[in-house]
Amino acid sequence: MTYPRRRAFWKRTQRVLNFDETRFLRIQSGAVGLAEAIDDVVGEALAAGVSNLHFVGTGGVAILLEPAAQLLRSRSSVPVFNDRLAETMAAGSANLNERSLVFLASLSGTTKESVAFLPYAKARGARVVALVGHPDSPLGRDADRTLVNFAADDTSSESFYIQTLFIALSVLRGRNELGELGDYATLLAGMRAAPQALLSLKRAIEPTAEELAHVIGGRDWHIFTGAGNVWPEAHYYAMCILEEMQWIRTRPVHASDFFHGALELVEAGVSVVLFKGEDSSRPLAERVERFVPAVGGSLTVLDTAHYATPGFSPRLRGLLAPALVATLLERVSAHLEVLRKHPLTTRRYYRRVEY
């Protein structure tokens, strides 16, 4: 099945379940409002001779940084790294040095591995920019520069996607590598429409969000897949929301790897959830879309192309597809926790026990 599926009885005045519209707009507007500060940070670093970039965090937030790193790797000649923090500290990195600009993200600013990484990176001469929700936190206080936008877990994905897209675009502009992406000022003007555009997606999916929650909550496990800049959101949602917050087993797999292992798991009754974005990797997702029903699997597709975003150009829609998917999925999660009587804040082990 493909979403959205329309229900004629739904009216736009229907309440959106467990959703604070004012808070959502404030947080996403805060992310957009960091554009100038981000431009200053990037401009200063490039002028100082920074020659490589690192987008890092711990766990789920590290995944949210991947689309920006991916965009830069595809369009810029500057080396970009998004290695795992714990592994970097264990094994070292010849690419983390005095010519590195590090973007270190942690919503709380207190994540154990990220806090440990900050002095590790600074000791190697790297400039560290913290992306946090709380300025009075270890990362907020001790980074070389701090960019602050308060957010809660249910709003942080879009916020980080927006902030890091600004970073990538600013780097591309500073290095004269924007190319066919167009004029930076035009992209920036379009981004100012993001909070209202994302809000419109909340309203658009609400009629079918409960139905999709039943699909996800009604199975023991799922294969989640996608390609391009929406693949990280497929990985993030499967790992951080369904596994961590709902204890639902998942198998996240990139669409380009789907036919090297995961395809043999697909048979009648096996659920495959596919996210489709609007970049050049869309044909990889379409290959999965053709295959799964042909062998009897149960396919659910969430396609950003099915949702209108007032104020966005087609180019900007493609760049912001991860935020579009995250916005849609938050509505599904809101229904899922009610359906399963399992609040998203419930944990057994995460930040509950030592590990």
Say whether both 166 and 206 belong to one domain. Answer: no
Q: Which domain holds residue 315?
A: 2-16+194-339
CA distances from 79 to 52, 68, 99, 239 (A): 5, 13, 11, 28
Q: In this predicted structure, what is the pLDDT of residue 85?
A: 95
Residue 12, token pair as written in the block: 């736009």
Mean pLDDT score of the chain: 95
Residue 301, token pair as written in the block: 């597709």
Query: Per-residue pLDDT tens for 88-106?
Result: 999 999 999 999 999 999 9
Say whether both 149 and 224 belong to one domain. Answer: no
Q: For the whole prediction, is pTM greater than 0.85?
A: yes
Say whether both 222 and 178 belong to one domain. Answer: no
Say whether both 176 and 226 belong to one domain. Answer: no
Say whether both 153 and 217 belong to one domain. Answer: no
* Paired sense of beta strands 298-303 and 221-226, if any: unpaired
Percent of the chain with pLDDT over 70: 97
Please tell me whether residue 281 adopts helix, strand or coil conformation: coil
Please calculate the CA angle 176-180-182 and round it to the nearest 5 degrees.
75
**Whether pLDDT at 201 is above 50:** yes
Q: What is the CATH number of the domain that holds 254?
A: 3.40.50.10490
Q: In this predicted structure, what is the pLDDT of residue 7?
A: 40
Domain total in the chain: 2
Say whether both 131 and 211 belong to one domain. Answer: no
Q: In this predicted structure, what is the pLDDT of residue 13?
A: 37
Mean per-residue pLDDT, 266-272: 97
- Which amino acid is present at 60? G
Say whether both 226 and 240 belong to one domain. Answer: yes
Say whether both 154 and 225 belong to one domain. Answer: no
Say whether both 182 and 210 belong to one domain. Answer: no
Query: Per-residue pLDDT tens for 329-341?
Result: 999 999 999 999 9
Write down which residue in 156, 191, 226 finishes a domain: 191
Which are the contacts of 117, defined by CB distance < 8 A and separation ≥ 6?
Answer: 56, 85, 88, 89, 104
Percent of the chain with pLDDT over 90: 92
User: Which strand (E) or helix (H) includes residue 331?
Assistant: helix 321-339
Query: Per-residue pLDDT tens for 127-176?
Result: 999 999 999 999 999 999 999 999 988 999 999 999 999 999 999 999 99
Say whether both 333 and 227 belong to one domain. Answer: yes
